[in-house]
């Protein structure tokens, strides 16, 4: 069974814990969770780190990012400030990963999509930010469970694609073809 380590990043009160608990335990709210799943016919062990959104946890967050294979950038559709802070988390990921050639499996997630009357961020704004960050996008509701599994399954598929690309590059380097793979395209 393959292991996948994913970090959930976002400002305070964006729903990081709720999203993680809904996915792992099928319940509404810990900092670390594990879940086993079968995705596309492949058994997986998923380790999720639910990071604290507060600035005083920046150093610890750096360690978690460094050890992760996939990133979930989370904002609340009911809070403009959490949306605007996504860029800071994104910059932190790029700084910590520190490799221009590395493809970081990442998805932008708008949480609390069920709270229509409290919405401050349109779906179109989320899609535009995802294009700027060059990552996938989805809106979820941890309360109703809508798209929760889809978020994590998408990141795992991206991680698999990244791992497959690394294996191909390794095989090419050692087969004498001389061609180096440096780009990663996630669709």
pLDDT (tens, 9 = 90+) of the chain, 187 residues, equals 888 878 788 887 778 877 887 788 776 545 567 788 898 998 888 877 666 555 555 667 777 788 888 999 999 999 999 999 999 989 988 988 875 545 789 999 999 999 999 999 999 999 999 999 999 999 999 889 899 999 999 999 999 998 887 666 555 555 554 434 333 333 3
Confidence (pLDDT) at 106: 92
Token pair for residue 145? Answer: 């469970």
User: Residue 136: how many CA atoms within 13 Å on its side-chain side?
Assistant: 21
Confidence (pLDDT) at 183: 36
Confidence (pLDDT) at 125: 97
Confidence (pLDDT) at 182: 38
Token pair for residue 101? Answer: 């050639």
SS3 48: strand
Give the class (CATH, top level) of 2-175.
Answer: alpha beta
Beta bridge partners of 64: none
> What does each C-alpha distance from 127 to 65, 79, 112 come to in angstroms?
23, 16, 16
Rg, C-alpha atoms of the chain: 17
Q: Is the pTM of this model over 0.75?
A: no
Confidence (pLDDT) at 176: 52
Confidence (pLDDT) at 14: 77
Provide the 8-state DSSP code for 57.
G
* Domain positions in the chain: 2-175
């Amino acid at each position: 069974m393959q292991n996948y380590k994913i970090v959930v990043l976002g400002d305070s009160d964006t729903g990081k814990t709720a999203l993680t608990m809904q996915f792992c335990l099928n319940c509404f709210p810990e900092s670390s969770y594990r879940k086993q799943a079968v995705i596309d016919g492949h058994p997986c062990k998923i380790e999720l780190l639910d990071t604290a959104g507060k600035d005083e946890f920046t150093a610890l967050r750096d360690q978690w990012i460094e050890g992760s294979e996939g990133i979930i950038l989370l904002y609340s559709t009911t809070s403009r400030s959490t949306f605007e802070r996504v860029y800071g988390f994104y910059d932190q990921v790029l700084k910590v990963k520190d490799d221009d050639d590395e493809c970081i499996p990442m998805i932008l997630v708008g949480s609390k999509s069920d709270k229509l009357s409290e919405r401050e961020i349109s779906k179109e704004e989320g899609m535009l930010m995802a294009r700027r960050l060059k990552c996938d996008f989805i809106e979820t509701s941890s309360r109703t469970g809508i798209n929760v599994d889809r978020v994590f399954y998408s990141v795992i598929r991206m991680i698999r694609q990244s791992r497959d690309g690394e294996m191909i590059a390794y095989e090419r380097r050692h087969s004498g073809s001389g061609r180096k793979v440096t780009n990663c395209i996630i669709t």
